Amino acid sequence: MFTGLIEDIGKIYKIETLNQGKRFFIELSMDTFEIKIGDSISINGACQTVTEKNGKILTFEAMFETLKRTNFNCLKKGDFVNIERAMLLNSRLDGHLVSGHVDLTAKLKHIKEEGIAKVFGFESDTSLLVEKGSVSINGVSLTVSGLYESGFEVSLLPHTLKNTNFKYLKINDYVNIEFDMISKYVKKILKKDEKSKITEEFLIENGF
């Protein structure tokens, strides 16, 4: 489990192709003495397991399902990725609960200035989004500032831009999206209710 607060921006040191997967070597700038093999690390919002460690270079192996769901297939040597270690249960939750299970990718359509903030607009499914609700983009906990039929917007302060890989994003780049987990469970419950025989007329007839 993660919070969506980025701790470091890692650099892709090397990528190897595996059978139905890829191996990523990522160089961190932060101290890695607390990180050990087997730890869960969020890379651009996708929960991955450390398989090797060589100084500040960590190795991760992404299976086919991860490559299919995320922007990992777009990554290349020299690219920068957002890094967050798994949250501690005794610390403040300053972002929101992020599972590290990416739902889909979204395309960056526009970037505009709005006072001290930069507004990023993405083309995406919005059925699980609400205005002022939470969304994880490349592992960053953000608030939906604008919602429209074919996409949504988020507004970033200079601090967030400086400390995440948003500063490297270009138009038509793809980002990893994880919707708020509460909205996903609510949608599933409502879908089940749609199949039930309970109607307004039924409730009235039964004294509700």
Q: Mean per-residue pLDDT for 92-121?
A: 95
Give the model's confidence band at 55: pLDDT under 50 very low, under 70 low, under 90 confident, else very high: very high
If one compares 83 and 89, the residue with the highest pLDDT of the two is: 83
pLDDT band at 140 (very low <50, low <70, confident <90, very high): very high
What is the rounded average pLDDT of the residues 149-156? 96
Decide if 8-85 and 104-183 have a common fold. yes
pLDDT confidence tier of residue 98, bands split at 50, 70 and 90: very high
CATH number of 104-183: 2.40.30.20
Overall pTM > 0.75 = yes
**What residue spans define the domains of the chain?**
8-85, 104-183
Amino acid in the structure at residue 63: M
Residue 175 pLDDT class (50, 70, 90 cuts): very high
Which two structure tokens, joined as six digits, stand for 206? 């039964």
Q: pLDDT tens, 7-29?
A: 999 999 999 999 989 999 999 99
Q: What is the pLDDT of residue 93?
A: 82
Is residue 172 within 8 Å of residue 108, measured between CB atoms? yes
- E-strand spans in the chain? 8-18, 21-27, 40-43, 46-54, 57-63, 80-85, 104-114, 117-123, 134-137, 140-148, 151-156, 174-179
The torsion angles phi and psi of 12, rounded to 5 degrees, stand at -70, 115
Distance of CA 113 to the CA centre of its chain: 23
CATH of domain 8-85: 2.40.30.20
User: How far is CA 110 from each of CA 91, 172, 178, rounded to the nearest angstrom?
Assistant: 35, 8, 20
Q: Mean pLDDT across the stretch 145-149?
A: 94
C-alpha–C-alpha distance, residues 91 and 103, integer Å: 26
pLDDT at 102: 98
